[in-house]
Amino acid sequence: MDTHGRIYVAGHRGLVGSAIVRRLLAEGANNLLLRTHEQLDLTSETQVEQFFVGEKPEYVFLAAAKVGGIHANSTYPAEFIRDNLAIQTNVIHSAWKHGAKKLLFLGSSCIYPRECPQPIKEEYLLTGPLESTNEWYAIAKIAGLKMCQAYRQQYGFDAICAMPTNLYGPGDNFHPEDSHVVPALIRRFHEAKQAKAPSVSIWGSGRPLREFMHVDDLADALLFLMNDCSPDYGTNVGSGIEVTIAELARIIASAVGYQGELHFDKSRPDGTPRKLLDTSRLSNRGWAPKIELTPGLAETYRWFCNQLPAVADRSAQQ
């Protein structure tokens, strides 16, 4: 990838997109094409077509998506499948149609079956039923991955896919109801500390195992993939380290400085029991993560505190 080429980062204000932009700027990129949702609605075929006609991006990072945790997926299933299908269909098709040299599509580890051998290899895709709490998002992401494969097979379009594990870091969504587990716990513990609450309730038993990776590590991996030879399959991207939700909660509580009790609400869903990615395809090509979980979470909490007014404004608008 020519870092001085015309690079479009779709979703540049989100968790992943903002990390990609930081990484590109660090590499000296000086021709980034960035558009907010107000400037370019990616669910609109007409607007996306007009953007690609006018700007002619050479490289595309497709990091735009409607995302959220168990509550959001359960509450808005129609939006999760409709909006994500529209976004990726419009961007992938227009990128091919208007001569982009390479496109990287962001999938998700939730595309794999609920009951998967661990760690999860790329070839386990579509070998069993999905986790019901996020199947709408997962089905959309599977369709995006398959669309990249189809355009590669039929048209020779250099479209590749990366399936990241659970992410956290600066730029995350800290909405009190619709966020993923790490930002949700950071906000909950912070507010409990401020209110001097004696305890915090956490969804589920605390027993499920999860792998977490700092988003800046992901951005580094994505640039590695854009500069690497192009495989005709998706590539898992993860840290290789997993913790229980209970362990994660204790690490975050310590980072925040909350000293109250943690209560796990077993009446709430746990989600997938375990989800660890096999990242040997990527590690065998020479890439490895650098940021450890405990200092990474502490840094994320510091970012959250520095961004509190902006975080509150975004939450109120969602």
Query: Is the pLDDT at 131 greater than 80, yes or no?
Result: yes
* pLDDT at position 232 over 90: no
What tens digit of pLDDT does each residue of 269-296 get? 887 788 899 999 999 999 999 999 999 9
Structure confidence at residue 72 (pLDDT): 81
Mean of the pLDDT values across residues 143-148?
97
Annotated binding residues for NADP(+): 11-17, 106-109, 141, 164-167, 180
Q: Evaluate whether 69 touches 168 at the Cβ level (below 8 Å).
A: no
Residues pairing with 281 in the sheet? none
What fold, for 7-317?
A: Rossmann fold (3.40.50)
Question: Would you please indicate which residues are annotated as catalytic (active-site) residues?
Answer: 137
**Nearest CA among 185, 188, 210 for reference residue 197:** 188
Q: With 70 as the cut, is the pLDDT of residue 188 above it?
A: yes
Single pTM value for the model: 0.91
Taking the CA atoms of the chain, what radius of gyration do you get in angstroms? 19
| Whether the predicted pLDDT of 230 surpasses 90 | no
How many residues are present in the chain? 318
Residue set of the binding site for substrate: 188, 203, 210, 270
DSSP symbol at 111 = G
Q: What is the pLDDT of residue 149?
A: 95
Query: Residue 99 pLDDT > 90, yes or no?
Result: yes
Residue pair 258/189 in contact (Cβ under 8 Å)? The answer is yes
Binding residues: 11-17, 106-109, 141, 164-167, 180, 188, 203, 210, 270
* Angle between helical axes of 181-195 and 293-306 (0-180°, round to 10): 60
Comparing C-alpha atoms, which of 25, 26, 92 is closest to residue 61?
Answer: 92
